[in-house]
Chains A and B, each alone.
Chain A
């Protein structure tokens, strides 16, 4: 049995920093949305904005890293292997079958992951980002023609709807990525240490 490094230091830093920021933004965002009152609106809002800028900075690095290393290709959807993965999660996992996919440093994500992450990066995240920035810079377009085209409310609805989509993604992602390895914590471990045991 050998250990292979799957995730570089930057990838792990990026992943966990992003996770922390996203959880922070979700936590404060729901308070801004009026779901509960914990921090107080003022602190929740300030924190939300600070985390937004942190996320923007982090993402700028991540985009640079993915472009220069070519790792962005890891997220291109691969429709061929999706069906076996779906079957595995709905049936095979219960009957002790082997996962129909093996993680390698060259292909870190199984086809279902690729599709999910692609969806997150191409749809959910941009919807949140764009709508969030438009809301944050409301003062620039309030009372202008833009107000007639995109109402503040419509932008806010997009932001909230995308938040729900992200919550769904997070729940599924945490469950699948943290508990369905072999042994069950294998993925979680590799995202922390960077290494994965290869048979």
Chain B
């Protein structure tokens, strides 16, 4: 009898459930979600546009744009699309399209590789149509399935069939499935490019890597599920597909305070949530006073690369080109498995859990642009944080330093781009010939609009330095820096110029004269006292005989 009842329940239970949740199972086999629980007012599974077979990225975009009519134009105005940024304070033309760095040098000539992180499809060279709306890649940012991927050398296209890259199988995504499951951006979508910058996980930034997908609280209080469980866009708010943050032009001294609807908003600054006086004032309010001229990150991001992945600290191109007997590039790794030498790229160094460097910073990054002449007898700063000690708007900020040795033109005294990627002989990773690769790189850069760039044919390698502002991996308050880490000898701010730091600084003359005086008067007092004591005893002996 009881068995029969159970059987009956089993039969009717799924029906009950279906009735309760009020919907038919979707064609993906997903259980339906009650309308009131959906994050969106539209269920993309129901859209006819997404039911027709979608074979390519641009086809997906065309389908998206049928409803989201302005989306592509919005994206095309953003730096994620243009890779072009006019820095209003320095007047420099920056952005990935314009700068040269000391990682993979420069975009022109290497587009299919570099532009695998472009929010578009098909940027393969200088003729790319930046106005074609179907070229915008919606899925790179809005995929929620985790299956969408842009092929590493595909100029932003996903693989249309399963392909391998460096021995790793990369599966072609089911674009219909991905398109029907679009949603908000996530750490996975942002991280696909921002964690992988510089050619791999954790390479570039030192404060952005895949450990932020699911970090423990100790690594990132905001993003940890045990902490705020923020995604990137919790702080990096987008409006009309644009957002404020830029490492070329940081709001180093946000004054708007806590972001209140209807008031000026300066996200993603720390202050837009925490305000200007986040610390318990205690007796002297010194921490809040410090916050007036020290960036929050300086104390609250105590180390770089804290998530268990090392970050690249040096890239020496000058040693690149070693091949084995079979003509394949020599590859050497360290104990952690990080590449310390690669025939394609040269020598590298890595570091983990190490202190950043600190500089005065007013938010403006000044670059040594490819057309600018350099002084190769000293380390060339690829970029420099601008700022004035103790001045209004300048704060002490942490930076990851990326050192490099990279090609420069000995005659024109400029840094040089190189064609690295491609099947042609003039690509360094194919022909291993700097002369050809540099000539091709310069040619590509000229075609891309850098007409001022020339290659004399004489090249050398120059030491370079790059500053990467540190903002992420904010530690729990109890792990932030203590006073003595800066207020002391050999501390974090040992090299910071332009400011007297109690505990670190002293005037050599005052110090010397002061201790001599203290020592001198002490000695005088001791001698004086000793003499009195001796005379007193002698006198006492003379009188009393003892």
Interface residues of A (CB under 8 A from B): 32-34, 37, 40-42, 45-46, 49-50, 89, 93-96, 136, 138-139, 142-143, 147, 151-153, 156-157, 160-161, 163-165, 167-168, 171-172, 175, 179
Q: Name the residue on B nearest A158 (C-beta).
A: B510
A143/B391 contact (C-beta < 8 A), A156-B502, A175-B529 known = yes
Q: Is the CB–CB distance between B528 and A175 below 8 Å? A: yes
Q: How far is the CA of A81 from the CA of B402 in the complex (A)?
A: 71
Q: How large is the interface on B (under 10, 10 to 19, 20 to 34, 35 or more residues)?
A: 35 or more
The answer to whether the Cβ of B505 comes within 8 Å of any Cβ in the partner chain is yes
Chief secondary structure at chain A's binding surface? helix
Q: Is the CB–CB distance between B284 and A34 below 8 Å? A: no
A59 to chain B, nearest CB (A): 19
B377 to chain A, nearest CB (A): 32
Q: How far is the CA of A198 from the CA of B513 in the complex (A)?
A: 42
User: What are the 8 A-B residue pairs with the smallest beta carbon separation, nearest first?
Assistant: A164-B514, A153-B500, A41-B483, A34-B503, A41-B484, A175-B525, A139-B289, A143-B392
Partner of B504, one of A34, A45, A49, A151: A34
A164/B506 contact (C-beta < 8 A), A34-B487, A42-B483 known = no
Q: Name the residue on A nearest B518 (C-beta).
A: A167
B202 to chain A, nearest CB (A): 33
Q: Is the CB–CB distance between B510 and A157 below 8 Å? A: yes
A39 to chain B, nearest CB (A): 10
Q: How far is the CA of A41 from the CA of B511 in the complex (A)?
A: 20
CB contacts (< 8 Å) of A161 on chain B: these are 507, 510, 514
Q: How far is the CA of A157 from the CA of B505 in the complex (A)?
A: 10
Q: Name the residue on A nearest B500 (C-beta).
A: A153
CB contacts (< 8 Å) of B503 on chain A: these are 32-34, 41
Q: How far is the CA of A36 from the CA of B499 in the complex (A)?
A: 21
Q: Is the CB–CB distance between B284 and A168 below 8 Å? A: no
Q: Is the CB–CB distance between B521 and A46 below 8 Å? A: no
Binding stretch for chain A, among B128-136, B228-236, B264-272, B531-539: B531-539
Q: How far is the CA of A139 from the CA of B281 in the complex (A)?
A: 14
Q: Is the CB–CB distance between A142 and B500 below 8 Å? A: no
CB contacts (< 8 Å) of B283 on chain A: these are 46, 49-50
Q: How far is the CA of A142 from the CA of B289 in the complex (A)?
A: 11
Q: Is the CB–CB distance between A164 and B517 below 8 Å? A: yes
Q: Name the residue on A nearest B510 (C-beta).
A: A161
Q: What are 16 A-B interface contacts by the 8 Å CB criterion?
A: A33-B503, A33-B506, A34-B503, A45-B286, A46-B282, A93-B532, A94-B531, A139-B289, A143-B390, A153-B500, A157-B507, A160-B511, A168-B518, A171-B522, A171-B525, A172-B521
- With A42-B483, A45-B286 given, can you name 10 additional A-B contacts, CB distance below 8 Å? A34-B487, A40-B484, A45-B284, A94-B532, A94-B535, A143-B392, A147-B390, A164-B510, A168-B521, A171-B518
A136/B504 contact (C-beta < 8 A), A147-B390, A171-B521 known = no
CB contacts (< 8 Å) of B514 on chain A: these are 160-161, 163-164, 167
Q: Name the residue on B nearest A94 (C-beta).
A: B535
Q: Is the CB–CB distance between A142 and B390 below 8 Å? A: yes
B20 to chain A, nearest CB (A): 58
A136 to chain B, nearest CB (A): 7
A9 to chain B, nearest CB (A): 30
Q: Is the CB–CB distance between B390 and A34 below 8 Å? A: no
Give residues of chain B (274-298) contacting chain A, Cβ–Cβ below 8 Å: 282-284, 286, 289, 292-293
Q: Is the CB–CB distance between A138 and B391 below 8 Å? A: no
CB contacts (< 8 Å) of B376 on chain A: these are none
Q: Name the residue on B nearest A136 (C-beta).
A: B284
Q: Is the CB–CB distance between B513 and A164 below 8 Å? A: yes
Partner of B506, one of A147, A160, A179: A160
Q: How far is the CA of A69 from the CA of B500 in the complex (A)?
A: 43
CB contacts (< 8 Å) of B525 on chain A: these are 171-172, 175
Q: Is the CB–CB distance between B390 and A37 below 8 Å? A: no
Q: Name the residue on B nearest A48 (C-beta).
A: B284
The answer to whether the Cβ of B31 comes within 8 Å of any Cβ in the partner chain is no
The answer to whether the Cβ of B47 comes within 8 Å of any Cβ in the partner chain is no
Partner of B488, one of A34, A46, A89, A143: A34
A168 to chain B, nearest CB (A): 5
Q: How far is the CA of A45 from the CA of B521 in the complex (A)?
A: 28
Which of B528, B531, B532 has the most chain A CB within a 10 Å cutoff?
A: B528
Partner of B505, one of A93, A153, A172: A153
Q: How far is the CA of A42 from the CA of B485 in the complex (A)?
A: 11
Q: Is the CB–CB distance between A46 and B518 below 8 Å? A: no
Q: Is the CB–CB distance between B390 and A152 below 8 Å? A: yes
The answer to whether the Cβ of B482 comes within 8 Å of any Cβ in the partner chain is yes
Q: How far is the CA of A30 from the CA of B532 in the complex (A)?
A: 32
CB contacts (< 8 Å) of B238 on chain A: these are none
A62 to chain B, nearest CB (A): 23
Q: How far is the CA of A144 from the CA of B37 in the complex (A)?
A: 55
CB contacts (< 8 Å) of B535 on chain A: these are 94-96
Q: How far is the CA of A152 from the CA of B521 in the complex (A)?
A: 30
CB contacts (< 8 Å) of A96 on chain B: these are 535, 539
A34/B506 contact (C-beta < 8 A), A45-B483, A152-B500 known = yes
Give residues of chain B (344-381) contacting chain A, Cβ–Cβ below 8 Å: none
Which of A143, A151, A172 has the most chain B CB within a 10 Å cutoff?
A: A143
Q: Name the residue on B nearest A157 (C-beta).
A: B507
B326 to chain A, nearest CB (A): 59
Q: Is the CB–CB distance between A168 and B517 below 8 Å? A: yes
Q: Is the CB–CB distance between B289 and A138 below 8 Å? A: yes
A25 to chain B, nearest CB (A): 14
Partner of B502, one of A33, A163, A171, A175: A33
Q: Name the residue on B nearest A43 (C-beta).
A: B483
